[in-house]
Amino acid sequence: MEQSLLTLIFGVMAALLIGLSIVVVTSRSVFRGAIALTAALGVVAGLFVLLGADFVAASQLLIYVGGIMIIMLFVVMLSQRPRDHMDRQTNEQWVWGALFSLAVTCALIVQFRAVYRGIFATLPPAPTTASVGRLLLGDMVIPFEAVSLVLLAALVGAVYFGLSKKERGR
């Protein structure tokens, strides 16, 4: 019973995620697309919970939904007007793009079905905060520090690009 319940939840989330993703790439209004992406990221966080990665799920919500997407919406609001969604939003290579992405998807699915069929979870999900913390400051400490450097660089870069030309001169 518990297993079928989980499968049901997964099914609902998968359908939601696929639907929202399609909205993201096809919506005429970029703002609505961004909202759909936000919801999709929330669903991904739900999938993480289903996979027993509670800390990652919370990080996903905190950083993606509460941070990145807000900046994204910010930029959408600054660069668009509410009536911009009258414009066509896809370029002329959309047929080739669709075919290519379909091909990639099919190839991936075939490959995944061939290699990873019928592998079931061996351990029930358990809280992972402590182990993720030990991993990040233990085995992964060098990448961890490297990422902090990348973040600093990104911060400086963002501030630089964010300044207008006049302010850059100063």
Least distance in Å: CB of 38 to another protein? 6
Task: List CB contacts of 40: < 8 A, sequence separation 6 or more.
Answer: 16, 17, 20, 21, 24
Rounded CA-CA distance 62/41 in Å is: 11
- Give 79 or 169: the residue with its C-beta nearer to another protein: 79
- Give 2 or 170: the residue with its C-beta nearer to another protein: 2
Least distance in Å: CB of 169 to another protein? 13
- Give 165 or 170: the residue with its C-beta nearer to another protein: 165
Least distance in Å: CB of 79 to another protein? 5
Least distance in Å: CB of 166 to another protein? 11
| Calculated CA dihedral for residues 92, 107, 16, 80, nearest 10 degrees | -30
Angle at 42 between CA 38 and CA 43, to 5 degrees: 120
